[in-house]
């Protein structure tokens, strides 16, 4: 785990379609100073307002994670947030010329590749962690999320779908040694063909296609080249959850376990997390006694 905060060595620029708006969106991810966090800037609006990527700025989780502040919104932030968290980038500004983060290929790979190319630098400020001292759990309607004490940053996920292409899948990831970029980043978002048609009927999902999502019909996976991983579905759920948990503002040192959870339930858990302040503390690595091995 890194002792120091990190940011990009130089800006990166990407361009793509919004998943729901279908609009072409330009995204520039810029370095930011220590203790700045991750913020989004709407350069298409007067005054180029900033919106903090914090769980208390979340205004919708029905189809994607949407944050808002002072009447301005940024939508579909989860894949970019997962990339920043998975690459252990603490400080950055994401500038957009529209309201929705581009979906790219439906995964985090394009973002992580761009960040690798730009380079990542350590900053002169300690990196703080939420250190889990005792379990925090939330269970409801057959879903469950919990965090448990652990000396490692680990996330486990179980999903269950009544479809032969998915069924039950489980995966555990330790966020160390570039595992996110290799094992989770390339996993694409997925959905059922019938749901995509329903969204389009109501003016949503305009940018969705086989180029940026795994689409499933009654016969199985519709994408010509199939899956990138046999268990790509659960890997993508981990990707989404890493993005959701990044909205806490600092990384968790502990084991996150998810069972049939999604954006909405993850967000409910984040609120529960802050209600149980006796179950965790914030601390730099040196105070924890960790040797500072690379993530």
User: Residue 22, SS3?
Assistant: coil
Q: What is the DSSP letter of 56?
A: G
d(CA 100, CA 173): 28
Q: Do residues 239 and 139 touch, judged by C-beta distance below 8 A?
A: no
Paired tokens of 145? 């999320």
Q: Are strands 214-217 and 220-221 parallel, antiparallel or unpaired?
A: antiparallel
Of 79, 236, 255, 263, the catalytic one is 263
d(CA 16, CA 233): 23
d(CA 9, CA 5): 13
Paired strand residues for 252: 130
The full DSSP string for 32-83 is --TT--EEEEETTSTT--EEE--GGGEEE-SSS-EEEETTEEEE--HHHHHH
Paired tokens of 178? 């570039």
Q: Do residues 242 and 265 touch, judged by C-beta distance below 8 A?
A: no
Q: Do residues 285 and 100 touch, judged by C-beta distance below 8 A?
A: no
Q: Do residues 283 and 129 touch, judged by C-beta distance below 8 A?
A: yes
Paired tokens of 288? 């924890």
Can 54 be counted among the known catalytic residues? Answer: no
Paired tokens of 168? 């039950």
Paired strand residues for 66: 60, 75
CA dihedral defined by 90, 272, 175, 91, rounded to 10 degrees?
A: 0
Active site members: 263
């Amino acid at each position: 785990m890194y002792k120091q905060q990190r940011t990009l060595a130089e800006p990166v620029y990407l361009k793509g379609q919004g998943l729901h708006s279908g609009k072409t969106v330009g995204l520039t991810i810029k370095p930011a100073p220590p203790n700045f966090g991750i913020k989004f800037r709407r350069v298409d609006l007067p005054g180029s307002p900033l919106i903090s990527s914090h769980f208390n700025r979340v205004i919708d989780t029905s189809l994607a994670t949407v944050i808002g502040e002072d009447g301005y919104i940024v939508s579909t932030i989860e894949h970019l947030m997962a990339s920043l968290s998975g690459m252990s980038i603490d400080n950055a500004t994401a500038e957009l010329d529209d309201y929705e983060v581009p979906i790219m290929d439906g995964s985090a790979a394009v973002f992580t590749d761009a960040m690798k190319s730009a380079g990542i630098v350590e900053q002169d400020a300690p990196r703080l962690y939420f250190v889990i001292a005792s379990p925090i759990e939330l269970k409801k309607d057959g879903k469950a999320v919990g965090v448990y004490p652990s000396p490692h940053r680990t996330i486990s996920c179980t999903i269950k779908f009544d479809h032969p292409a998915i069924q039950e899948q489980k995966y555990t990831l330790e966020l160390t040694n570039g595992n996110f970029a290799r094992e989770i980043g390339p996993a694409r978002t997925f959905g059922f063909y019938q749901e995509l048609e329903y969204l389009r009927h109501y003016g949503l999902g305009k940018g969705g296609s086989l180029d940026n999502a795994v689409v499933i019909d009654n016969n199985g996976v519709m994408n010509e080249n199939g899956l990138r991983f046999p268990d790509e579905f659960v890997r993508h759920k981990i990707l989404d959850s890493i993005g959701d948990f990044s909205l806490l503002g600092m990384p968790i040192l502990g084991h996150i376990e998810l069972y049939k959870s999604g954006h909405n339930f993850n967000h409910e858990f984040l609120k529960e997390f802050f209600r149980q302040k006796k179950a965790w503390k914030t601390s730099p690595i040196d105070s924890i006694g960790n040797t500072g091995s690379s993530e």
